[in-house]
Structure 1
Amino acid sequence: MRPNHGTTPRILPHLLATLLLAAVGVVALDAAPEARAATQAPPIPLDRVIPAPASVTPGGTPYRITRATRVRVDGSAEARRVGAYLAGILRRSTGYPLPLTGHGKGGIRLRLDKGDFGAEGYRLDSGAGGVTLTARTPAGLFHGVQTLRQLLPPAVEKKTAQRGPWRIAGGTVQDRPRYAYRGAMLDVSRHFFTVAQVKRYIDQLALYKVNALHLHLSDDQGWRIAVDSWPRLATYGGANEVGGGRGGHYTKADYRRIVRYAASRYLEVVPEIDMPGHTNAALSSYAELNCDGVAPPPYTGTKVGFSSLCVPKKITYDFVDDVIRELAALTPGRYLHIGGDEAHSTSHPDYVTFMDRVQPVVARYGKTVIGWHQLTGARPAQGALAQYWGRDRTGAAEKEQVAKAARNGTGLILSPADHIYLDMKYTNDSRIGLTWAGLVEVRRSYDWNPGAYLAGVPDSAVRGVEAPLWTETVRDSADIEYLAFPRLAGAAELGWSPAERLGWDGYRARLAAQGPRWDNLGIRYYRSPQVPWPAR
């Protein structure tokens, strides 16, 4: 058969056309991410974060994180640790390598500078060429990283690689906190929580720039910290919890792990030993601490006000000295909380005597006293802080006692129970929580101004805000999260954001946007009907 020499010329154009189309297709695929990005929803606006930043100037082209992005840090070891923390979060969800490198152009840059940022402030500059976080301290860089996280899509919080694009809106954020103290308290005495559970809560607090973790380590139901000179406090006094369940305690090594982990998230641990009341766990552990020398049985109920250390006994102050000395040695932070609330079984003269003798012990071991606001009914030490937990309807005389102490130099931490006690029920239908301070829905927890809350208190006396979580009804991390979220975010904003940036209408929209982020983090929050949450 004669070969068909004309076949090749006719096939060749079709083959070349196919190859050309394939090549164009490759180019199109390479360009597809950018094309897709153009059709995606716009980046999250710079002011759509919690806490609300002090100043936002939007504008310019967004920055896009890609496989080529690097995280650049200066030579500081602390800045490198913050950079490594950020890269660790981004690598999981983007799937990109995001190597940690030194100076250079482009990418995400973290730099320490001597600018006017304060101890915790930062500036975020974003544009097509990259994102730069600048701060005077590593704490400021870390807080800037939390803002950067919230400017990325909620999928950035997932632990497996997700599809982008990962864009950060263009412009500048300049930010610094309103108050130096922004705390959250976890009661580990009514119910005990493991080191892992406390670490989980620390990570959640850090996302909203909280900088103090107040641990309520002792109460009638349980003593939760090992004290070498009084070992039965932990082994016997820590064996129970509310309802009769198995308690627990932190060894000194456990406590150090919590302190170190908190420090890595720029939180200071504030340990509390509540006294002279709320002391049944100690009294049941050592008979000699009781005035009659008889140890009461362990207590697993929820009543308050029935216990008291024996104020006249010398051994009481030996006990206090030993406990504070050992706890202060474990705690690098500035503060040690001595409780002082609901000491109904202690006479007023005995209460004043006790506080006069105990506050100098705290100072002797290098710490500053914090006490519940009943401390203002005694003689607060110079530099002491009083934590106000009253309510709107607290009597005028009690409020004036606190205000007078504030005018005389005692700093205040505001924790009004009917606003930011996280253990209060949202509604009568809430599955857990208490109601003695009232029902506290999300708007009520947010819609108040710390600087103007107590009449007669100078604004300069308010050192900050703290959201306590008592755990009579709380048994696990799911319970913690249900009561803390979304109210914790509001408490954090009240502590951080300038008064002029606060407002329920804007806040509820920003809060709603946190819902998908919490879903991705596995936070089991209360979906308040007051908030327009996105559909799941």
Structure 2
Amino acid sequence: MTVRSLHPPAPDRKAEAPSKGPLVRRLPRLLCSLLLVASAGATATGSASAADSEDARSVIPLDHVVPAPVSVRPAGDPYAIGSRTVIRVPDRSREARKAAEQLAGLLRPSTGLALPVTSRGGQDGIVLRLGGDRELGSEGYRLDSSRRSVTITARKAAGLFHGIQTLRQLLPASVEKGERQPGPWRVAGGTITDTPRFAYRGAMLDVSRHFFTVGQVKRYIDQMALYKINTFHLHLSDDQGWRIAIDSWPRLATYGGSTQVGGGPGGFYTKDDYREIVRYAADRQVEIVPEIDMPGHTNAALASYAELNCNGVAPPLYTGTEVGFSSLCVPKEITYDFVDDVVREVAAMTPGRYLHIGGDEAHSTSHEDYVAFMDRAQAAVAKYGKTVVGWHQLTGAKPVKGAVAQYWGTTGTEQEVVDAAKAGTRLVLSPANRIYLDMKYTKDTPLGLSWAGYVEVRQSYDWDPGAYIKDTPSSAILGVEAPLWSETLSTSDHIEFMAFPRLAGVAELGWSQAAALDWDSYRTRLAAQGPRWSALGIDFYRSPQVPWPAE
């Protein structure tokens, strides 16, 4: 992979790989049952002895995961992963085998166990099986745990992957470390049956205002995938930088990508880099949604090619943070040659369904020109076989049939959005005062902005996407997405501090049923994620609203 920049990027901080620990002997049935009871009944202050508390923490109750599952039925003894544990793929499916190898790669470093993957028959060990009830859909799974085995069943590979993420959370946080850990490695007994509420559960990263390397992007993908987020929106162009190579307009990247906010070196993704991001995300059941923002937020493009400007004069590169001053020249036909070329090349590299054309804050474009431009830009997206996505200002133009509008307002009352939704435009919800991850937690947060207010953890979680847009049927809501804009962010530590813990809450809003969205329950389950994030090397905000355990 090659990330081009005027000078090499700073070394990327890698996530720690999962770590290993010795096997533990299978406990007698009665003792295992007592451990389950102790685990379920322990309080944050700890009413049991130190030894009992330590044992209880080694068996995590089935209902302590994030996002909250649809159905949990505790039953029987836990399963202990040990030296004889194998990972079975009984149907010889290539997709199931791939999931099994991913699981083995996760568990081997921390457990120190061989965990061979096999297609041989058997009912013991960890079993990954494709098939099962149609009710599981394309992303659902069932996890059955007993003294003899843990079985994850799903109809599709995505379901197996999501079931593995749940299994991961049912093991001690030290399973995430890159070296051998002491264990024990027990999975509580019972059954989880789980399917998502919304099809679209997204996160967005702005790589335009500050550039992030392929390694940094991969790191964020790994983190979001743990919480069953399935869509990753890359904001690839803006006033401050153009971040994707376009063969037919090469100066977009080489010149337009040569800077960033504050005047840093910028950078861009070669086509091979972008394909590697797409591949890496797909292996984690995450679909990439590329965004080329237009007709506004285009200074990097306008600076790269004078002919895209109405006056034929290229403006200087821009390193500030103001918005709304730039616009493609709507009357010029070369503008649509540019749009067609860019959409064609980006679509050809993107196997996913969606292509995002921005459309927000086009303050330098008249309404008439905006409508005319969006008509032609949407036609270009359709021409190359993609579904158009735009920020919710698209609803002020003429959204094409099947278009998706991404809502980033703060009230949920905009009439154009309501009317478009009633007419068939689907909505992805990203209310800025709820799930813009670049908003400060409090006035003392050292990073981020506050134009939409301060967004503490409860503010981010405590709302229902299905009821947010007034007078709109819940069926119009495709899902949720948490944008992370990078005016003030330039490192992986910055990304993680602003994303966590709020990203986990967005994942629950997208996955869990409305009846499960309960702050008091969530904050307790969220607190248990803290040690896991520490084990992964994630620098997270320790909100005082959450009862984080001592580590």
TM-score class, shorter: over 0.9
The TM-score with structure 2 as length reference comes to: 0.90
Q: 1:98 aligns with which of 109, 112, 115?
A: 115
Matching of residue 163 in structure 1 with residue 182 in structure 2? yes
The match for 1:58 is 74
The match for 1:4 is none
Per-residue CA deviations over 1:252-304 (Å, capped at 9, x if unaligned) read 00000000000000000000000000000000000000000000000000000
CA distance in 2, matches of 1:298, 1:111: 54
Matching of residue 535 in structure 1 with residue 550 in structure 2? yes
**Matched residues, number:** 504
- Contact 1:65 1:166 (8 Å CA) reproduced: yes
The match for 2:313 is 294
CA distance in 2, matches of 1:280, 1:310: 12
Q: 1:480 aligns with which of 471, 495, 500?
A: 495
Q: 2:87 aligns with which of 55, 71, 77?
A: 71
The match for 1:404 is 419
State the Cα distance separating 1:31 from its structure 2 match. 8.7
State the Cα distance separating 1:41 from its structure 2 match. 1.3
Larger RCO, structure (CA 8 Å, separation 6 or more): 2
Larger Rg: 1
State the Cα distance separating 1:360 from its structure 2 match. 1.0
- Contact 1:400 1:456 (8 Å CA) reproduced: no
**1:29-428 residue pairs with structure 2 within 5 A?**
34=27, 40-41=55-56, 43-73=59-89, 74-102=91-119, 103-116=121-134, 117-392=136-411, 396=413, 399-428=414-443
CA distance in 2, matches of 1:163, 1:229: 56
- Contact 2:24 2:183 (8 Å CA) reproduced: no
The TM-score with structure 1 as length reference comes to: 0.93
Report the AA paired with residue 484 of structure 1. A
State the Cα distance separating 1:78 from its structure 2 match. 1.0
- Contact 1:33 1:165 (8 Å CA) reproduced: no
State the Cα distance separating 1:452 from its structure 2 match. 0.3
Report the AA paired with residue 41 of structure 1. A
State the Cα distance separating 1:32 from its structure 2 match. 6.8
**1:481-496 residue pairs with structure 2 within 5 A?**
481-496=496-511
- Contact 2:24 2:82 (8 Å CA) reproduced: no
Per-residue CA deviations over 1:112-137 (Å, capped at 9, x if unaligned) read 00422101000000001100000000
- Contact 1:478 1:524 (8 Å CA) reproduced: yes
| 1:123 partner SS | strand
Report the AA paired with residue 202 of structure 2. G
Report the AA paired with residue 543 of structure 2. S
Per-residue CA deviations over 1:105-157 (Å, capped at 9, x if unaligned) read 20000000042210100000000110000000000000000000000111111
Q: Please report the RMSD computed on the Cα atoms of aligned residues, expressed in angstroms.
A: 1.4
CA distance in 2, matches of 1:141, 1:191: 35
CA distance in 2, matches of 1:208, 1:126: 20
Structure 1: any 5+ residue segments left out of the alignment?
Answer: 1-29
The match for 1:11 is none
Per-residue CA deviations over 1:366-402 (Å, capped at 9, x if unaligned) read 100000000000000100000000003x7x4xx1110
- Contact 2:458 2:545 (8 Å CA) reproduced: yes
Report the AA paired with residue 352 of structure 1. V
| 2:280 partner SS | helix
CA distance in 2, matches of 1:33, 1:369: 54
- Contact 2:132 2:153 (8 Å CA) reproduced: no
State the Cα distance separating 1:210 from its structure 2 match. 0.3
Q: Percent of pairs identical after alignment?
A: 70
CA distance in 2, matches of 1:361, 1:76: 38
